[in-house]
Each structure stands twice: as structure tokens, then as C-alpha cells.
Amino acid sequence: MIVPEHIYVNGSGNKRVKHQSLDQYEASRVLEDMRVPDRIVLGGGETHIGNKADPTEVMADRLRTIPILTPGHEVPSHLTAEDLNQSEESIDNQHNNSSEASIAIDEDPLRELKNMRKQLGRLSTRVMQLEDESTSRNTRDAKNTILKIGNIRAPIHDAKRPEFVPTGFADKNLPPSLIHAIEWLIQKDALQQDVFLMGVPGSLRSFVVFSYLDLTNREFEYLSVTRDTTEADIKQRREINNGNAFYSDLCAVRAALNGRVLVIDGVEKAERNVLPILNNLLENREMQLDDGRFLMAARKYDKLREKYSVEELQKMKVERVSEDFHVIALGLPVPTFKGHTLDPPLRSRFQCRNIAELPFETMSQLCSFIAPNVGNERVNNLLALVYGLNSQNSEKSGIALPLFPIDNLLKSLKIWDMLKYG
């Protein structure tokens, strides 16, 4: 077999043919008949097979079965059918063995990949289930959790600003009188009625309010009223920052816009021209602000939303008062105590309730629980003295004694218990 160094257009191997000897038709015909094969395979003798070759993988397997000719071995001059069948059987057996070996090698990684894919699918499914359960649990805890006191039920609110929610006041073992007061607050909140809690001086009224806010997870704004409280301390205050003057919203406006509970403490101390500015906010949930904005009730605002968009209403400087806005006022009865009486129009906006002092038995149990090192006899003697002094004010005995705040006894007994323990 002689392999030529060059193959020319006309198919000749070694003889160079000049292109001038071919006319245009002959050259195009030769070019069309010329086919360059992808591979050249030895077919036996001096023949070559160009387009009937097997795939590369099959050829590689067959090449592995061809024995390497060493010096001393000669190529046989002819082959019989038996030799051909034996060679084909050996080639097939070796091909099967190689294919089985290749499957054994490749089968484990594929299986591992399939198993890993299944495990990842299970993990992703489980993660999605956990996320859905967490979302539903948070939604259920935030929206569908119900506070039940007796026959009264109240939803637990979702606090957007948890720092405005009081903590540490909720207790399941509250006295019955305080539980009834909290139940009454829940009823008035459901009816969207503002309330006014009266009682003797002390922290009992504020404790009831903060317990209610803690149990219902409500945000609140606190307004402490004194004789120096003005309108600028309730609605808006003008401030200067970096040389620019602007109005900042205060507790009443923030509570109205964000749906919080406005707690007004010390109503009896306010001047007559201070609290009437809240009259329209309490009655109609409307208020005109100094910066030009107008607070509007939620029902009226939603009707305007049918005609105008939120951007248009903002350009009109109309703000929506949240339907969750609620007012709780704390005060002392006047003229029993010093202070100013409420104006009749303002007084008619509140639902009033008297938070009486705790009974003797309840206070005795609380004191024994707080101060276990102090004897029960000493605690009962102290309570009898305090209740006896306060009873002189209720009777028309002519003895003008100051009213003793009974709830402050708990703090005194804590100190007494520490001294006795030491």
C-alpha cells in the first residue's frame, strides 16, 4: 500500500496535472465528484473505505482486540470462515465485558447523583412546608388568637411597633375586681367607646390599663396632664432643625394616625381651655392641625377613596384616622379631691367607671404572697389601720384625714420582707 504525499483535484496521486489542461466544465465536474471523507479506513489489500466507517467508539473497542505484531509474527495470507467467526465472538465477548465494566464504573456515580437529587427534593419540600407552617403560625398568632375573659372575647392585635406595647403587667392570677375592670375595657373597645377611669390616688388605675394593653398587645401613647399643659403638648409642636422650622406630631396625633390607645393621665389637673381641643377628635374623630392637615374619620375617608386616589387626598392634606384609635382617661373624683371638673360636652364623650380600692381579704392575700417572711398577724394589723383611716373619709365624722394609698403598701411590705430576711 502506497499512500501518496498529495492528492490533487483530478484524483491523481503523484503526477501533477496542470490546471490549464482542464476546461471550466471539466474542472467543475471533478470538483463535484470529489468527496473528502471524514476518515480513511484500511479495508484490506490496497483498498480504502472512506464513508462506511463505524463510529469512533466501536473502532476503539475493536482496536483493543487486535493483537500487536511483534517481531517473528507474520500476517496470514488468507483467512477462513472459522477464524472470522472466532474473531467476531472474541470481539463481541470483549466488547460485552468492557461495556459491563464501563456500566459498573459509571452506574454508582449516576445512582449517587439520583439519590442526592431525591434527597435535595425532599429537603426543599420539607423546608417549604416549614416555611408555610411558620407563616400560618405567625398569621394565626397575630390575627386569630383570641383573649377570652368570661363570655367576652377580644382579638390579640399585631403590634407594628412592639416597643410601644407595655410588658410585665399581664397576670393570670389577678383579683376578681381587676378582672371585671379589664373585661369592661374590652367591651368598650369593641363598642368603640372612649372610657374614663376614676379612683383613689395610686397606681391601681394605671395598672388596670397597662394590664389590658399587655393582654391585648395594643400600642399606646401616654399623655401626662399638668397645670402647665398647653395645646402645643397635645397636637403639634413647632421645632427647628438645621435652620428649618417644621411641625412635629405629638401623642394625640400619632395615636390617631397609627391606631394606638391614647392614655391621658391626670385629667382633673387640666385647665378648662386645654382638653376641649380633643372634643372634636373624641366625638367625630376629626381634628384640624396647625400644619394644614386635616384628620378625618375612617368611614368618611373611605368614602372619599371611591372618588379620589391616595395621592390626591395627600395633596389635599387629608389624613385618615385609624378605626383602632381609642382613648382612656385617668382621673380623680372632684370635689372629693382637688382639681377641675370636666366640661359637660367633654364629659359626655366618655364612659366612666370607678376603680375602687381592693378589699381587705384580697390585700391580705397579696401581702402574704409578696412578704412571706413577715407574719400574717402583723400584716393584718397594718391593713386594719390603713383601712380604718380611709374609712373615716367616707363617713361624715368630721375628721379630715388624708387618704392613704393602699396599693403603696405592697412596696412597703417588700422592703419590710427584705429587712426581716436579713
| pLDDT score, position 317 | 92
pLDDT of residue 86: 52
Give the pLDDT mean for 9-38: 53
pLDDT of residue 99: 46
Q: Cα torsion at 229, 230, 232, 233 (round to 10°)?
A: 20
Separation in Å, CA 98 to CA 58, 59, 92: 11, 13, 10
φ/ψ (deg, to 5) at 195: -125, 160
pLDDT of residue 16: 47
- The mean per-residue pLDDT over the stretch 12-19 comes to 48
Please give the pLDDT value at position 272: 77
- Mean pLDDT rounded to a whole number for the chain: 77
Q: Vertex 407, ends 405 and 409: CA angle to 5°?
A: 90
H or E stretch covering 364: helix 360-370
Q: Which CATH number fits domain 147-355: 3.90.950.20, 3.40.50.720, 3.40.50.300, 2.102.10.10?
A: 3.40.50.300
Strand partners, 125: none
For 94, how many CA atoms within 13 A lie in the half-sphere containing its CB?
Answer: 14
Burial call 263-301: b when 16+ CB within 10 Å, e when fewer: bbbbbbbbeeebbeebeebbeebebeeeeebebbbeeeb
DSSP letter assigned to residue 397: S
- Residue intervals of the chain classified under CATH 3.40.50.300 are 147-355
**pTM of the predicted protein model:** 0.62
Q: In this predicted structure, what is the pLDDT of residue 252?
A: 92
Q: Is the pLDDT of residue 145 over 60?
A: yes
Q: Which residue from 388, 264, 275 is spatially nearest to 327, judged by alpha carbons?
A: 264
Which of 38-47, 59-68, 78-87, 396-405 is the most confident on average?
Answer: 396-405
Predicted confidence at residue 418, as pLDDT, reads 82
Read off the pLDDT of residues 236-292 as tens digits, 9 standing for 90 and up: 888 888 888 889 999 999 999 999 999 999 988 888 778 778 888 888 899 989 889
Average pLDDT over residues 17-44: 54
Instruction: Identify the weakest region by mean pLDDT among 140-154, 250-264, 316-330.
Output: 140-154
Report the C-alpha gap between 310 and 411 in whole angstroms: 52
The three grid cell numbers given for residue 316, joined into one nine-digit string: 389635599
Asked if 414 contacts 371 with a C-beta cutoff of 8 angstroms, the reply is yes
More confident residue, 161 or 394: 161
Nearest to 251 by CA among 263, 243, 242: 263
Amino acid at position 99, single letter: S
Q: Mean pLDDT across the stretch 99-126?
A: 68
Residue 69, pLDDT above cutoff 80: no
